[in-house]
């Protein structure tokens, strides 16, 4: 566990359903809305009560797009009444561009938001979300939240589509006074499943892109990396454990507690933390994080092969 992870209290993430008002090319869950109904209010309340009784103090509603739910204000109110300390929503932030909704959520007890921005300009973000007007609403929502004192971080899904737009995204976040930038490696499932091989980024290109992201660390408070294998992270970035938090399979399981739908993507087997989309190849055995990392995407391996992995002494401390 990194220093940053050690400072975090475990977050209970409640999957409320898969419905969404965007249709992002890079979304790993949207197609599941065809075979899974959104949770009912009663089902979610039952999950919340069970988690609170077991000692959970932080909760985050996610989806899909949880702000589409007619009961979302009630769910936030209920979380506050149950005594949850941090009450968060993972969202595209579009509805937060509307003052009445913003006010209702804040009055209900909302304390934190994780928003998603996949392009630094209207053309790119709207193309990735396949939703005209999404960029204007999302950036307006983020600005509204920050102006009201709501702790707001922004996530970006890392893909061929925006690998050359990272500096513009970073400048946009800094201009909006966003303190934490989360960068998520592209999951080979959902909407992108069939086009994954043409959309994923090689590890060599990933390292250079992550260096670009890291060059902004002094103008942000923190960078969070999700699902990147250790071998894809630049040594200097991986070593900065106070300002860069790396959520591998271990971090996903031990810092984030996702509930609401099954089967679970992550599990522990004999001390190894597994991700259903990942495999460990021969080179993984040289890594000091072989048990925790989860390996590399199986689809990435099919696309680039093992030669894509490059080891450095700073990446792998045995």
Question: Using omega within 30 degrees of 0 as the cis cutoff, is the peptide bond preceding 263 cis?
Answer: yes
CA dihedral 169, 174, 175, 179 (to 10 degrees): 120
Q: Which residues pair with 256 in a beta bridge?
A: 11
Q: In the CATH hierarchy, which top-level class contains the domain 3-265? A: alpha beta
Q: Which residue has the tokens 């000091």?
A: 288
Torsions phi, psi for 238 (to 5 deg): -65, -30
Tens digit of pLDDT at every position of the chain (318 positions): 444 444 556 789 999 999 999 999 999 988 888 888 999 999 999 999 999 999 999 999 999 999 999 999 999 999 999 999 999 999 999 999 999 999 999 999 999 999 999 999 999 999 999 999 999 999 999 999 999 999 999 999 999 999 999 999 999 999 999 999 999 999 999 999 999 999 999 999 999 999 999 999 999 999 999 999 998 999 999 999 999 999 999 988 877 777 877 667 889 999 999 999 999 998 888 888 999 999 999 999 999 988 787 655 445 544
The pLDDT value given to residue 55: 93
Alpha helices in the chain (DSSP H): 3-6, 41-53, 72-82, 99-108, 122-129, 134-147, 166-175, 196-199, 203-214, 235-239, 249-254, 290-293, 298-304
Please say whether the dihedral angle defined by the alpha carbons of residues 42, 23, 256 and 275, taken in this order, is positive or negative. Answer: positive
What residue segments make up the domains of the chain, in order of their start? 3-265
The pLDDT value given to residue 152: 98
Q: Output the pTM of the full model.
A: 0.92
Q: Are 86 and 59 in contact (CB under 8 A)?
A: yes
Largest CA distance in the chain: 55
The pLDDT value given to residue 41: 98
The pLDDT value given to residue 318: 42
């Amino acid at each position: 566990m990194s220093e940053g992870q050690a400072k975090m209290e475990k977050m209970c993430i409640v999957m409320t359903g898969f419905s969404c008002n965007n249709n992002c090319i890079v979304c790993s869950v949207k197609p599941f809305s065809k075979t899974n109904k959104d949770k009912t209010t009663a089902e979610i309340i039952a999950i919340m009560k069970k988690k609170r009784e077991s000692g959970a103090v932080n909760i985050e509603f996610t989806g899909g797009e949880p702000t589409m739910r007619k009961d979302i204000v009630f769910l936030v109110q209920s979380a506050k009444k149950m005594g949850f300390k941090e009450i968060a929503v993972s969202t595209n932030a579009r509805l937060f561009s509307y003052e009445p909704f913003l006010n209702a959520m804040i009055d209900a007890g909302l304390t934190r938001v994780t928003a998603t921005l996949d392009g630094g300009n209207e053309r790119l973000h709207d193309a990735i979300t396949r939703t005209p007007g999404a960029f204007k609403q999302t950036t307006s929502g983020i600005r509204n939240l920050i102006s009201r004192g709501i702790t707001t971080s922004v996530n970006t899904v890392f893909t061929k589509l925006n690998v050359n737009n990272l500096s513009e995204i970073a400048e946009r976040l800094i201009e909006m006074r966003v303190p934490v930038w989360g960068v998520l490696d592209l999951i080979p499932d959902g909407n992108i499943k069939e086009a994954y091989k043409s959309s994923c980024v090689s590890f060599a290109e990933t390292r250079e892109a992550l260096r670009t992201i890291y060059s902004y660390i002094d103008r942000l408070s923190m960078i969070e990396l999700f699902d990147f294998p250790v071998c894809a992270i630049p040594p200097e970035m991986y070593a900065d454990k106070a300002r860069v938090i790396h959520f591998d399979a271990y971090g996903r399981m031990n810092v984030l507690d996702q509930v609401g739908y099954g089967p679970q993507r992550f599990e522990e087997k004999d001390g190894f933390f597994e991700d259903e989309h990942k495999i460990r190849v021969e080179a993984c055995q040289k890594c000091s994080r072989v048990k925790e990392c989860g390996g590399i995407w199986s689809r990435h391996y099919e696309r680039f092969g093992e030669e894509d992995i490059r080891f450095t002494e700073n990446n792998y401390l045995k």
